[in-house]
Structure 1
């Protein structure tokens, strides 16, 4: 259905104007219909869990399904926001989003090294083009070129590692490699190279400097997309094929990401740079659940997507309430957090509380489950480091709240937002606050999925 939609939009482009705002709504309806088709096809897993598709290139398992569902919901919300806001998606960007979605949905299902490289490049090249599509912005073009150069370096490392893996195992199939690895029970440097390429593309420390610049230069609207979907899909690939990556090397990336993500933003005033470090810190937490191969991975991904979706929607909406520094990124620095809508401010504070890990927000329960799984696997030092970095990160989250509290004393007239955007943020805020009510049912569903 997704591939057919891309072809339809390409043919449609020859007949109508490309600047029509109705493309936003049309893309939202398309992704919503794909989501319904995806839900209706879940019965396949109940018949045969682990079914292979297209000559064993892809494998359809239960551990991949929640991640795909979260990506579909995020992109649908992202397109819905743009259709009711001053941001207008042109036709080219919509086709790139659908093409990128094709790579996002198939990457967790990959079961072959050749398809792994093709799907990652499909996802990466669409992100390069999406970043630089607003070519009237100098910083946007600069971000696209930097993203392309660093992504090309990471792709080269991954391609070399795939060559050496094929030379060693004699197969490109990941299931066959898993059996051969269990038989040999050895670790080699080629698997480390593959993990370094993935970590490079995810922007994990110490290979993270490019991501700070790209997120800062790109338009805020694109930063919201890149900071969630790219890391989400690649981490799901690592979780589904956890046996392919060595835990000791992953621990080094986790240590560096936690320390850099907790320490560096203490001296930052740029909002997008702080959010980039915050994302690196959150995925440092997530690496611990990947090493444990525990369902806490899903709990943390749910809260990460929910919290960051609401936070970026609020930052985009707040950018319309302040004097813009730039057309593409109106809200750049923390001293601009003087919003004229106090309800918007309170929702932003709820997001900060969730990132801090305050109960009863989702951030508290997700960190609790990660610490429980790490204790069960005897990751004592890692759990203590997680707690220490979480306390350090609380300072710059609280500093953002302090800067935004200046709006409470603002006597200007309250500025109201679009009703649809306000409804979306209200629903997301209520989900954030009532997450603990649905938590037992989510845990039960995840346990049934693992059986």
Structure 2
């Protein structure tokens, strides 16, 4: 269905230059695709394989596929409205659909040959999306940096794949997991190079510096896209194939990620840099759920995606109503520029930050709670204590943003005008965010049934 939509939009784009009209059609198409993916959740007792077992659609990756489609749809919907400071681009929806193909195929991939192709499909479309507003010097600068660093990671992935085939003569991931189970005894294998390449792609510590620069350089709308969807897709691939990887490499990345991401933002004043470190911190937490192959991964990835989509939506709305923007691409740069004349938006923003801190009954609390419980059940007490300590440290820079937002609560100026579509999306997401604890037992039961 995505391929049909892609071809149809290419033809349509040749005859109709109306960008917003095109983006709305793409949004409707993705909405229908998400419905089809939801209906496929009924397939519980059989694994669907495609193209000689190159891809598999299972109960494990089906929730991730739906989440990725909804994330891309949510971000694409924002491009259907008039934005005061951000110039529309007729190629953005087309590139998002191309990128979405790579995003949803990566968790489904089951062979080393399509693995590299899918990662490159995802990466090259992201490079172009990063630099799509080429009139912005910083956007072009960020796209080049993204391309160079992504190329290094791609070399590592290709090198690892070639070495694995040289050692084993196998490319199927199921067969490789069986091979290493009986022949490797958890020692070093070539998949360690692959996991380093994937960590590089996600921008986790210690290979994270490029991601902070890229997220800061690119326009805010593009930052919202590249900082969420690619990480979710790659981390989900690791989670679903954790039997192939050396968990010691992931443990090292876990410690470095949460230490650096909890400490470095204390000296940051730019909002996108702080959110970039926040993403590293949250994916550092996720690494522990990945190592344990625990179902808390699904809950945490859901709350992280929901919270960050809401935060970026609010920042975009604030930027479109800023009288003196820093630039037309990123009207809001520093935390002290978060001047909001709408108390509802302020409260929603603060609720999102409370969720990231881990205040109950918000989903951020339950995500951390279930990860810590899973760690303690596995005897990993040091990792549990580390998460608690650095969560407390990270609270300081979240509180710094909350303090700036709280100052605006006493501001009685005119209300910020919000587009009806954006207002509806923000309303739906905040209702889900503050009420998810009511359906949490049912949600966890559903995840258990899917994975059994």
Quote the offset at 1:409 in angstroms. Answer: 2.8
Q: Where does 1:182-197 land on structure 2 (aligned, <5 Å)?
A: 182-186=181-185, 187-197=187-197
Number of aligned residues? 448
417-426 or 123-132, larger mean C-alpha shift: 417-426
Where does structure 1 lack aligned partners over 5 or more consecutive residues? none
State yes or no: 1:61 paired with 2:58.
Answer: yes
8 A contact 1:71–1:229 mirrored in 2: yes
Where does structure 2 lack aligned partners over 5 or more consecutive residues? none
Q: Where does 1:40-439 land on structure 2 (aligned, <5 Å)?
A: 40-43=39-42, 45-48=43-46, 50-86=47-83, 87=86, 89-186=88-185, 187-322=187-322, 323-439=324-440
8 A contact 1:82–1:88 mirrored in 2: no
Quote the offset at 1:248 in angstroms. Answer: 1.1
8 A contact 1:111–1:175 mirrored in 2: yes
Deviations 1:25-84 (A, max 9, x none): 1110010111112223334x3351x33211110112111011111111111111222213
Deviations 1:82-123 (A, max 9, x none): 213415643311111100010011100000011100000000
Mapped partners of 1:360, 1:193: distance in 2: 40
8 A contact 1:23–1:90 mirrored in 2: no
Mapped partners of 2:212, 2:354: distance in 1: 23
Quote the offset at 1:192 in angstroms. Answer: 1.1
CA RMSD after TM alignment = 1.2
Q: Secondary structure at the match of 1:91?
A: coil
Mapped partners of 1:246, 1:141: distance in 2: 36
8 A contact 2:37–2:65 mirrored in 1: no
Quote the offset at 1:207 in angstroms. Answer: 0.2
**Do the aligned partners of residues 251 and 81 (structure 1) sit closer, same or farther apart at CA in structure 2, a change above 3 Å counting?**
same
8 A contact 1:24–1:88 mirrored in 2: no
Mapped partners of 1:151, 1:412: distance in 2: 45
Instruction: Give every structure 1 segment of 4 or more consecutive aligned residues whose post-TM-superposition deviation is greater than 4 Å.
Output: none
Q: Secondary structure at the match of 1:59?
A: strand
Quote the offset at 1:430 in angstroms. Answer: 1.2
Quote the offset at 1:285 in angstroms. Answer: 0.1
Mapped partners of 2:440, 2:216: distance in 1: 35
Deviations 1:376-423 (A, max 9, x none): 111110010000110001000000010122212323222221122112
Mapped partners of 1:131, 1:304: distance in 2: 22
Q: Secondary structure at the match of 2:448?
A: helix
Q: Secondary structure at the match of 2:44?
A: helix
Mapped partners of 1:300, 1:412: distance in 2: 37
Q: Secondary structure at the match of 2:196?
A: helix
Mapped partners of 1:282, 1:406: distance in 2: 27
TM-score (norm 1): 0.97
Q: Secondary structure at the match of 1:307?
A: helix
**Do the aligned partners of residues 329 and 371 (structure 1) sit closer, same or farther apart at CA in structure 2, a change above 3 Å counting?**
same
